[in-house]
Chain A
Amino acid sequence: MRTSATIRLLTAVCTALLGSVMGSVSLPAQAALTAAPTPGPAPALTQPAPDDKSGQAIFAAVKPSIVQIRTLVKGSQSQTSIGSGFYVSADGLIITNFHVVSDYALEPDTYELKFAAPNGEAGDLKLLAVDVLHDLALVQRQGSNLPWLRFNHAPIGKGTLGYALGNPGDLGLTIVGGTYNGLRDHSLYPFIHFTGAINAGMSGGPVVTEAQQVFGINEARMIDDQLIAFLVPSHFAEELLNRWRARPVAPASFEKEVTSQLNQHSDNLLSRLSRSPMPTQQVGHYLIPDQLDPYMRCWGGVDRDPKKFYQTDSYFCEGSSSVFVDDETEAGSAVFVNQIIHSSKLDPLRFSQLLADQFSPAQGDHGDAKRFSPYACQASTVQLRGTPARAAMCLRQYKLFPELYDFTLKLVTLKEGHRALLSQLRLTGVKYRPGLAFIRQYMNAIQWKD
Chain B
Amino acid sequence: MERLAWIELLDREGVVSQRFPVSHWPVTIGRAYACDIIVDDPFVAPRHLQISGNADDTFAVEDLESVNGMHINGRRVLNRTASLTPDDIVRFGHSQLRVRHSAHPVADETPIVPHTWDRQPRTLLFTALILLCLTGAAGFLSYNSEDSMIEVLTMIMGVLSVTGIWVSGWTLVGRVFSGQTHFVAHAVIGTVGMSVFWVTDALLNLSEFSFNTTVFSDRASLIDFITLSAMLYFHLRLVSRLRKPQLGMIAATASLLLWGVATVTSMVESDQNLALRDYSTSIAPAAMLLDKGQSIDQFVNGADDLKQQVQE
Contacts and interface: CB of A to CB of B under 8 A. Distances in A.
Contacts of A415: 286
Given A379-B280, A436-B303, A439-B300, A395 B141 contact: no
Given A366-B272, A375-B276, A412-B283, A443 B145 contact: no
Interface in B264-312: 270, 272-287, 289, 291-297, 299-300, 302-303, 305-307, 309-311
Given A357-B142, A388-B289, A377 B300 contact: no
B292 A381 contact: yes
A236 interface: no
A368 B309 contact: no
B33 interface: no
B168 interface: no
Interface string A235-279: 000000000000000000000000000000000000000000000
Contact of A350 (B141, B270, B293): B141
B307 A395 contact: yes
A348 B141 CA distance: 10
Interface residues of B, number: 45
Given A307-B146, A381-B293, A394-B277, A353 B303 contact: no
Given A356-B283, A383-B295, A395-B303, A377 B277 contact: yes
A384 B296 contact: yes
Contacts of B146: 307-308
Given A375-B276, A436-B303, A439-B300, A388 B293 contact: yes
Interface residues of A, number: 63
B306 A443 contact: no
Contacts of B270: 374
Nearest to A346: B144
A360 B142 CA distance: 14
B108 interface: no
A350 B140 contact: yes
A356 B281 contact: yes
A228 to B, nearest CB: 30
Nearest to A310: B144
30 contacts: A308-B147, A343-B144, A349-B141, A349-B284, A352-B285, A355-B283, A361-B278, A363-B276, A366-B272, A366-B273, A367-B274, A373-B274, A374-B310, A375-B310, A376-B305, A378-B279, A380-B294, A381-B293, A383-B296, A392-B280, A392-B281, A395-B303, A397-B311, A402-B311, A414-B283, A415-B286, A432-B307, A439-B300, A440-B300, A443-B300
Interface of B: 140-147, 209, 212, 270, 272-287, 289, 291-297, 299-300, 302-303, 305-307, 309-311
Given A378-B305, A382-B296, A392-B280, 13 more contacts: A309-B144, A309-B145, A353-B283, A361-B279, A363-B275, A375-B275, A381-B212, A381-B291, A382-B294, A382-B299, A393-B306, A395-B307, A405-B310
